[in-house]
Amino acid sequence: MAQDNATRSFPQGRPGRGSSRRRIRVISVTSGKGGVGKTSVVANLALALCRMEQRVLVLDADLGLANLDVMLGLNPRYTIDHLLRGERTLEEILIQGPGGFKLLPAASGIPELTELDNTQRLLLLDELDALRDRFDVLLIDTGAGISSNVMYFNYAAMEKVVLVTNEPTSLTDAYALIKVLTSRYKQKRFKVLVNSAQNAKEAERIYRHLSLVVDQFLGSPSLDYLGWIPFDKQMPAAVRKQRTVLECFPESAASGRLLEVAKALMANEGESFLEGDIRFFWQRFLEH
């Protein structure tokens, strides 16, 4: 598939110093454990938000192990590696995703990208900051675990969605992720999204269990229940087709719940603007 020329879709030039700068919603989707379906959820949420007339930019933030472009059957000519080496601008790297969202693809098999230094973080900050007037939502698909990159992108986000499943290791690792973000980075609010649940009752039980453990041992964080996505064989079937489940199986149970989750995110729009914009968040991280 040919690379999309992102510059055709957007007006040129950066706003001047005196212009009014709008705020983009920065939402990370993260997990303590890999293999919980995070990348598939992000791709489908991006499409769902586009259908709600949101202008969406997706950042594949598992920088050394590209997943999103592969899952969507895309073949980017350039990746974030070209950006960080100064060989391409962000607009030259962006590619078109299904339904109209834009994707900033990660690189694959480049271990140096698993731990960004401050210079690289500032470069990425400047490039993303220049595009914020052109998007309504920046959706970040973080890596799993508690590496510095995962912490960086979660700290940058105004809203953090923690994806969990019924697996004990998923819950244990989600707790560890929340603990680090709370104790070291003073983050206080998280949204919990349960994936691959058998039914609503099981999903609520998983959420309550995590919430009780966090409340008992960490105290201060607030965990809000965002919703759940059912176990649905159509989800892996769509992945095998390298498409979203919303495209392949729009009438499936998973598609219905994903649309509900997207609506829930948009219903809470006001709370995301309480602490500042992209530059504020990302400059704060460099102080740690």
| C-alpha to C-alpha distance for 60 and 210, rounded to whole angstroms | 26
Taking 60 as the threshold, does the pLDDT of residue 113 lie above it? yes
Average pLDDT of the residues in 119-125: 83
Taking 50 as the threshold, does the pLDDT of residue 11 lie above it? no
Chain mean pLDDT for the chain: 86
Closest CA to 30 of 255, 180, 232, 238: 180
- The tokens describing 51, both together, are 């259908």
Lowest mean pLDDT among 60-69, 96-105, 193-202, 218-227: 60-69
Average pLDDT of the residues in 206-216: 96
Residue 62 falls inside a structural domain: yes
Residue 16 falls inside a structural domain: no
* CA angle in degrees (0–180, nearest 5) for 243-248-250: 130
Residue 167's alpha-carbon distances to 19, 171, 261, in angstroms, are 49, 7, 21
Residue 43's alpha-carbon distances to 69, 185, 203, 288, in angstroms, are 10, 27, 21, 31
- The tokens describing 119, both together, are 């210079």
2 or 172, higher pLDDT: 172
What share of the chain has pLDDT > 70, as a percent?
85
Which of 113-117, 217-221, 223-227, 273-277 tops mean pLDDT? Answer: 223-227
Residue 73 falls inside a structural domain: yes
Give pLDDT tens digits for 196-210. 999 999 999 999 999
pLDDT for the residue 156: 83
Residue 5 falls inside a structural domain: no
Taking 60 as the threshold, does the pLDDT of residue 2 lie above it? no
Residue 176's alpha-carbon distances to 147, 165, 197, 237, in angstroms, are 12, 15, 21, 31
| C-alpha to C-alpha distance for 144 and 43, rounded to whole angstroms | 16
Give pLDDT tens digits for 160-184. 999 999 999 999 999 999 999 999 9
> What are 222's strand-pairing partners?
189
Query: How many domains are there within the chain?
Result: 1
Q: Which residues contact 202 (CB under 8 A, 6 or more apart)?
A: 166
What share of the chain has pLDDT > 90, as a percent?
65
pLDDT for the residue 274: 46
Here the CATH number for the domain that contains residue 61 is: 3.40.50.300
Q: How confident is the model at residue 4 (pLDDT cuts 50, 70, 90)?
A: very low
Contact (Cβ atoms closer than 8 angstroms) between residue 159 and residue 272: yes
| C-alpha to C-alpha distance for 246 and 121, rounded to whole angstroms | 33
pLDDT for the residue 146: 92
Residue 274 falls inside a structural domain: yes
Sign of CA dihedral 93, 97, 99, 101: negative
- The tokens describing 248, both together, are 């392949």
Please identify which residue in the block is written with the tokens 């998007």: 135
Q: Which amino acid is at 128?
A: L
State the pTM of this model. 0.87
Residue 182 falls inside a structural domain: yes
Lowest mean pLDDT among 11-15, 140-144, 173-177, 217-221: 11-15
| CA 80 from centroid of its chain's CA atoms | 16
For residue 249, give the DSSP letter.
-
Taking 50 as the threshold, does the pLDDT of residue 12 lie above it? no
Contact (Cβ atoms closer than 8 angstroms) between residue 32 and residue 177: yes
pLDDT for the residue 260: 98
pLDDT for the residue 278: 55
Residue 1 falls inside a structural domain: no
pLDDT for the residue 34: 93
* CA angle in degrees (0–180, nearest 5) for 203-205-210: 100
Give pLDDT tens digits for 14-32. 333 333 445 789 999 999 9
Residue 220 falls inside a structural domain: yes
Domain span including residue 87: 23-279
